[in-house]
Each structure stands twice: as C-alpha cells, then as structure tokens.
Amino acid sequence: MDKNHDKRQQFISNMLEPGNECAASGDNGHIQLWRRLAARLSPLIGDTGLAALHARAMRLVQADYPWLPAEQSMQSMDSLLDHLTNRLSSVDAVLAAEANAALLDTFSKLLSSLIGNALTVRLLDSAWSEESQQGNAKEQK
C-alpha cells in the first residue's frame, strides 16, 4: 500500500481522535475540520470545485449512511457545511463521528485521485496542523 495513502488516512484518524481539539468540540469539531480544509483548498480548486468534490463524496457515502442525503454541488460550501452540521447533529454522536470520518476519507480519496497522494497529504497537513493554524494567525496580525 502507498505510504501517502496510509499517511492520508492517519491524518484523518488523528484529527478525529478523542484527545484532539476538533474531536473534543463535538459536532462543531466535525465542521471545524471541513472549514479548515475548505480554507486551504478553496484558493487552489475554487469554491465550485470544492463544493463539487464535497457533494460527490456525500453521494458516495450515502450508501452506508442513507440519512446523510447528498445536496446539490451548486450550493455554496457554507450551505453544504450547514447541511452537514444539521445531518450530523440529528443522529447519535458515535454514528455522526463514523459518518464524518467516512466522508472525510472519501473526500480525500477523490482529491487524491485528482492531484495525487503526496500533494493531498501536504494539503491535509497544512490545513489541519496546529503549527499551520498558529502561523496563519500570526500572518494575519
């Protein structure tokens, strides 16, 4: 198995672990990961591309999570994330976490198929690492 594939899945697992700041913040943590990822990817693939990938990932995981209906990719990313927040908060927390992990994994696989595993891993790292978030905060000051 490709080491970047493993690393991509490891990033997702680490971000969803109970000790992680995002996981600790409950439903909002699920969406915080998506918002960080959207902020990093939007300048690269555009809002439309990001929304299309997200909608495609939703359609693919819908087979396992039928309560997570796919939305139209023509909606804004904020609208898609609001919809995801509503759907995840409507089910048990364990099921919501499982569905979110599957969605993140599927999304990152789709992204990887477009831009490659190595770049996907770098983007996940830059979007989700604490150092990156602290560095961005310093740059904005």
H, E, C per residue of 9-54:
HHHHHHHHCCCCHHHHCCHHHHHHHHHHHHHHHHHHHHHHHHHHHH
Give the pLDDT score at 102: 94
Q: Does residue 136 surpass a pLDDT of 80?
A: no
Q: Does residue 95 surpass a pLDDT of 60?
A: yes
Q: Does residue 137 surpass a pLDDT of 50?
A: no
Say which residues have a Cβ less than 8 Å from residue 140's Cβ, sequence separation at least 6: none
C-alpha dihedral sign at 58, 51, 105, 112:
positive
Q: How many CA atoms lie within 13 A of 106 on its CB side?
A: 20
> For 65, which DSSP code?
-
Distances (CA, A) of 55 to 3, 35, 58, 72: 27, 15, 5, 7
Give the pLDDT score at 138: 45
Question: Of 139 and 123, which is predicted with more confidence?
Answer: 123
Mean pLDDT of 9-23: 69
pLDDT digits (tens, 9 = 90+) for 24-49: 444 566 788 899 899 999 998 888 88
Question: Of 56 and 23, which is predicted with more confidence?
Answer: 56
